[in-house]
Amino acid sequence: MRSFFRKKDVNAILDSNRNSSTERTLGAFDVTLMSIGATIGTGVMVLTGVVAARDAGPAVVLSFIGSAIACILVALCYAEFASSIPTSGSAYAYIYASLGEFIAHLVGWSLFIGYTVCTATVAGGWSAYFNSLLKECGINLPSMFINIPSQGGLFNAPAVIVVLFITLLLSRGTKESKKINNVMVFVKLGVIVLFVVVGAFFIKPVNWHPFMPFGIKGVFAGAASVFLAYAGFDAVSTSAEEVKNPQKNLPIGIIASMIGCTIIYIIVCLILTGVTNYTNLNVGDAMAYALSSVGQGWAASILSVGAVVGILAVILAYVYGSSRILFSMSRDGLLPKACSNVNQKTNVPVLSTWLVGCLAALLAGVIDLKQLADLANMVLLGTFSLVALSVIILRKTHPNLERGFKVPLVPVVPLMAIACCLFLMFSLSKTTWLYFGVWNLIGVVVYFAYSHKHSSLQNKDNSQPVLEEKSA
């Protein structure tokens, strides 16, 4: 039984990272932009209007602030881990060193599907904007190739194609993809600035009344719904082995991006609900709709084009993050070795990248994404809770570990993060809990059928020995 909870030696992880075959090309600026690119996307561009119309009204700004509190608390925990154990496995690796192999396997297994589902969800949102642009140009794709089977079509072809395109881009190397990602992020931020500047001239304070039409319950429901808008910063921590001076640059990137995204979301929420009444915002392209409703069609068109370009950065970040989880689990023997093989020219785990890309493309093409998005929320919230718990544990077991950044007020801040995440988890449906349970059951089967036998820690002569905890 003890072998199920064997832990990786923190020093061995650090030694492994120093000898990693991946190339360190990402600076603090790149990490911050990648995090912003992963975070800002369909959440603010799609969910803001829908949540305002259905759950919170103009008080959707409070929903975003509520989710931000939970995410910022968790981001502090991620920053400490990223500065002390900079490894591509992210939460999976952190939990492997603190809570043990079995739980780490389930976390890695869950994160793999969580990031992949996020990819599919975002691709579906991108497809909606893309199809809208095509219609404005007088191009109408056959409905059978833009609708999923439950909607009477065969598959969502644009969503499939965009995921495979991003996968191809990532398979060519991090150095090349980061340049394109930076451009996409600037485009996305540019159209948001456009919305803010233009929309500010058409705000009518009367649209903010009533401010909380659905009561405080609606605000909390909205907070759970918009949580996905903040997901993304965690995916960036998987890039640790490709970051220059990760002890410094990763915490900067994670914290700076979370603060920046929160400010952006607050401003967008206030302007969006100020330009038009919240009852009109139950649409997929709420920001473009708001500008069109006040006669600014030119700005709405530019915004739609920017959304099509900018949302690509979100897809890139999620495919990247999910593939690095598979890479790390494979390197530890929990998945087949082929998943950790890197291309000699690009230093990219090609098989892992394409496995994620193909699965995400399949989900985006044929599956109703609403339930999958809820599943992604469940996975991320559960993982965030365990990461926060791991900070407390590792402070006890490894008090002398060099930490470039420390979470303040431990254990208070991590416990607050756990409480916030659990509150949001229990606001999700029973069906989502069922899906979450089934996927983890499959993960348990995989662990006992393959991972436990092939684990690197199973070999006593392995260079990553079992962690010896500090005696009481």
Task: Supply 90's token pair.
Answer: 């992210």
Looking at residue 265, what is its pLDDT?
92
pLDDT higher at 122 or 82: 122
Average the pLDDT over 106-112 and give the result: 90
3-state secondary structure of 97: helix
Residue 369 has pLDDT above 70, yes or no: no
Looking at residue 98, what is its pLDDT?
84
Average the pLDDT over 236-261 and give the result: 74
Residue 449 lies in a domain: yes
Residue 460 has pLDDT above 60, yes or no: no
Q: How many domains does the chain have?
A: 1
pLDDT higher at 9 or 390: 390
Q: Which of these, 66, 113, 148, 75, lies nearest to 374 by C-alpha position?
A: 113
Percent of the chain exceeding pLDDT 90 equals 28
Q: Which of these, 99, 163, 78, lies nearest to 369 by C-alpha position?
A: 163
Task: Supply 161's token pair.
Answer: 């194609």
Q: Which of these, 353, 379, 388, lies nearest to 433 by C-alpha position?
A: 379
Residue 381 has pLDDT above 80, yes or no: yes
* pTM: predicted TM-score of the whole model, two decimal places: 0.78
pLDDT higher at 83 or 25: 83
Looking at residue 414, what is its pLDDT?
95
pLDDT higher at 234 or 424: 424
**CA gap 173, 179 in Å, rounded:** 11
pLDDT higher at 237 or 67: 67
- Helix axis angle, 215-225 to 60-84, nearest 10°: 40
Specify whether the CB–CB gap between 258 and 34 falls below 8 A. Answer: no
Torsion over CA of 327, 329, 335 and 336, rounded to 10 degrees? 40
Q: Is the dihedral of CA 432, 435, 440, 444 positive or negative?
A: positive
* Helices (H) then strands (E): counts for the chain: 19, 0
Specify whether the CB–CB gap between 178 and 346 falls below 8 A. Answer: no
Specify whether the CB–CB gap between 126 and 315 falls below 8 A. Answer: yes
Residue 466 lies in a domain: no
State which residues form the domain around 417. 25-458
Residue 9 lies in a domain: no
Looking at residue 461, what is its pLDDT?
40
Three-state SS string over 206-274 comes to HHHCCCCCCHHHHHHHHHHHCHHHCCCHHHHHHHHHHECCHHHHHHHHHHHHHHHHHHHHHHHHHHHHH
Looking at residue 361, what is its pLDDT?
95
Q: What is the mean pLDDT of the chain?
A: 83
The secondary structure of residue 338, as a DSSP letter, is: G
Rg (C-alpha) for the chain, rounded Å, is 22
Residue 22 has pLDDT above 60, yes or no: no
How many other CB atoms are there within 10 angstroms of residue 65's CB atom?
16
pLDDT higher at 268 or 187: 268
pLDDT higher at 206 or 176: 206
Residue 137 lies in a domain: yes
Average the pLDDT over 194-219 and give the result: 94
Residue 194 lies in a domain: yes
Looking at residue 174, what is its pLDDT?
59
Q: Mean pLDDT lowest for which of 32-41, 174-183, 205-214, 369-378? A: 174-183
CATH of the domain at 93: 1.20.1740.10
Looking at residue 175, what is its pLDDT?
61
Specify whether the CB–CB gap between 426 and 224 falls below 8 A. Answer: no
Residue 8 lies in a domain: no
Residue 42 lies in a domain: yes
Residue 389 lies in a domain: yes
The secondary structure of residue 404, as a DSSP letter, is: S
